[in-house]
Chain A
Amino acid sequence: MWKRIVTHDELIERIDALGRERRLIGPVAREAPGCHPPLRYFYEHVTRAAQLSLDFDYCVYGPKAFVLPPRETLFRFDRSAGTFVATPIMDAQPTALVGAHPCDLHGLRLLDAVFQNDRPDEQYRARRSALFVVGIDCARPCDARATCADWGTNRVVGGCDVMLYADPRNCGNNRRNAQYAVEFCSEAGRTWLGDAGRADDDAVAVSAGYHARKDAAFTRRLSASVEQLPALVRASYDSHIWEKHAARCYSCGSCNLVCPTCYCFDIQDDCDFNGAGGSRQREWDACMLPDFAVVAGGHNFRLLAAQRLRHRVMRKAAWIQQRTGLSACVGCGRCDRACTASISLIDMLNEAAQEAGNAHR
């Protein structure tokens, strides 16, 4: 990897240049009165780089919506001329996502594995190839619920064009003095920022020591290693922990919907009033919702909340990993934060691991 150092001002200037060619998306601070702290960040559309808050803690929602929108029209159909004509709707304007944290970049990699390789999806591919991604490293844990350090998802291994590291030597209260170490992950990334700033041969910001210090700062931990976890969770399939936690669960689906790697969707057709045309829509679905597993004939093969909860945890900790080789949990902590019933994925995993581990002994 080819490294450079750029100053904050230079970076802002370059992001603005990017914004002249592409729609700009990045972390924006929003006041959240009554919340602690009274500020929350969201990935949003901005028109100027100065509107971005690159030193954000976490974004409430991941960047999933920009590659897999919550609702989209896949095609319109028309049969007014006597034949059936379907016109696909492709909404893939050139976009730059600037300021994605490592967990969210890992989330994007998983979506890529699903929609680009496993089940090629035209709409996803079109949007993804029109997306330029600038990652930014989080120098400290974003939130007490984050477990990315244990999932190995707080280090970037692709999924972006450029990766930025705020240089801790020059970070401080005065952001204008901030400097960023830059790593390039694609040719497009080099074209964008390759001639900015100066070459950085010592690359102090991204030294091994930097990552080790960062990893150690996380307080929420997985009790088993990611290598052991899939087998331990599988071994807990018949455990009572699912019923225990599901007793509090509303089956509201929030935990799925905020997850940067949950990719399930539902497809529905809608007809126009005159009956001659209509459209096919898809929207985010969630395996915790009561009707998720209803099949033709009305049978629901995951009728109980406990079955759905177990299914979700198995997907996150074992099954998707088996299928894609990537972890389906990137440790962002969003599901735990979103659950209004205080059901924690990490608690369930730790309990499952402990139970299975004990049984093993």
Chain B
Amino acid sequence: MIDDLDVRCPIPDRGAAPILPVPVEGVQAPRPRIGIFSLTSCEGCSLTILEQEDELLSLLGAIDIVDFREAKSGADGEVDIAFVDGAVSSPHDVARVRQIRKNARILVAIGACACLGGVNTLKHAQSEHDYRQFVYGDRAPQFPTGDARPLSAVVRVDYELPGCPMVGAEFLRFVRCVLSGRPFRLPNDAVCVECKRRGTLCLYEKGETCLGPVTRGGCAAICPAYGARCEGCRGLLGNEQLRIFARNCLQLHGTPLAEILDRLRLFGVFQGETLPDSQPPDGPPT
């Protein structure tokens, strides 16, 4: 139904940031034109932008929002940066994200759905026929939906701001980086780093197998701070970490692999039935 591309989620955070016009003092510099778009999602990530109340005014002073369904209506024109939330799960989504890509200098996937497929991918536990029948009943033929995929499975994505929902502070940092022409990188550290910086009591002390050690941080470890284990919404740090995690869980806690893989399905972090092959980083032997 939709193009059969690999469901895979590269994190393109290593390249240099494209430079946008930098506001210069005294001159009314051109402000980057921003569009905020939603595919199959709850649009919670777009709403996160509106929730940045303390910084919203300075944000709006520096950028020009030309299209944003949650806050204003506009025409699909050219934008400097398109922020897109939601997974690609229908032919309509495919056409729309291609159009957005065409009109945007920089395309940023925001939130777990756009970066990984997100909770939409839970339906993959059933066959396409079954989930469409379940949702649309007799009228299923009128609603051509398919598997939920990240944007990167359909178009080139320049940046990803993961999380369910995306992290407001990270979004603001991204915008500041772009405005000042500085490279933007996602943290390449585990969620544990932020638990430690916050002084949270580790959930492993209660015998819970939190996904924090293998999940990309940057969320301020908000779930463990409120007593809930990390479910990996920001995606895995790497396949090697996942393999180590599965092995440690079995050896140290007796947790079977199937249980680990099931947990990783919540946000579409990993959808395979077996562990991925991993390539340890090249380097001199120790």
Q: Quick one: closest A residue to B208, CB to CB? A: A34
Flag if A35 contacts B286 (CB, 8 Å). Answer: no
Taking CB atoms, residues of chain B closer than 8 Å to A269 are 182
Flag if B62 contacts A273 (CB, 8 Å). Answer: yes
Answer whether residue A247 sits at the interface, using C-beta atoms and an 8 A cutoff.
yes
With the chains together, A40 CA to B201 CA distance in Å?
8
With the chains together, A283 CA to B187 CA distance in Å?
13
Taking CB atoms, residues of chain A closer than 8 Å to B25 are 79-80, 82, 275-276
Q: Which of B115-123, B245-253, B269-277 contacts A (4 or more CB under 8 A)?
A: B245-253
Answer whether residue B197 sits at the interface, using C-beta atoms and an 8 A cutoff.
yes
B201–chain A nearest beta-carbon distance, Å: 6
With the chains together, A118 CA to B218 CA distance in Å?
32
Answer whether residue B23 sits at the interface, using C-beta atoms and an 8 A cutoff.
yes
Taking CB atoms, residues of chain A closer than 8 Å to B254 are none
Taking CB atoms, residues of chain B closer than 8 Å to A264 are none
Q: Which of A285-293, A323-331, A348-356 contacts B (4 or more CB under 8 A)?
A: A285-293
Chain B residues touching A, range: 35 or more
Of the residues A249, A284, A291, contact of B197 by C-beta under 8 Å? A284
Answer whether residue A111 sits at the interface, using C-beta atoms and an 8 A cutoff.
no
Answer whether residue A313 sits at the interface, using C-beta atoms and an 8 A cutoff.
no
Of the residues B195, B213, B280, contact of A341 by C-beta under 8 Å? B213
A interface footprint on B191-228 (CB within 8 Å = 1, 0 otherwise): 01101111101101111101011100000000000000
Flag if A304 contacts B252 (CB, 8 Å). Answer: no
Of the residues A30, A82, A247, A272, contact of B244 by C-beta under 8 Å? A247
With the chains together, A252 CA to B23 CA distance in Å?
38
Taking CB atoms, residues of chain B closer than 8 Å to A61 are 196, 199
Taking CB atoms, residues of chain B closer than 8 Å to A238 are 286
Answer whether residue A98 sits at the interface, using C-beta atoms and an 8 A cutoff.
no
Q: Quick one: closest B residue to A271, CB to CB? A: B180
Answer whether residue B11 sits at the interface, using C-beta atoms and an 8 A cutoff.
no
With the chains together, A275 CA to B182 CA distance in Å?
11
Taking CB atoms, residues of chain A closer than 8 Å to B207 are 34
Flag if B199 contacts A65 (CB, 8 Å). Answer: yes
Taking CB atoms, residues of chain B closer than 8 Å to A250 are 190, 192, 213-214, 237, 241, 244-245
Answer whether residue A52 sits at the interface, using C-beta atoms and an 8 A cutoff.
no
B282–chain A nearest beta-carbon distance, Å: 7
Taking CB atoms, residues of chain A closer than 8 Å to B142 are none
Flag if A271 contacts B205 (CB, 8 Å). Answer: no
Taking CB atoms, residues of chain A closer than 8 Å to B212 are 252, 340
Q: Given contacts A238-B286, A253-B189, A340-B213, list 16 more A-B pairs with CB under 8 A.
A: A32-B206, A34-B207, A40-B201, A61-B196, A61-B199, A70-B196, A243-B286, A248-B248, A251-B190, A257-B197, A271-B176, A274-B23, A275-B22, A291-B188, A300-B283, A310-B286
The 3 A-B pairs of least Cβ separation, nearest first, read A257-B196, A34-B206, A303-B283
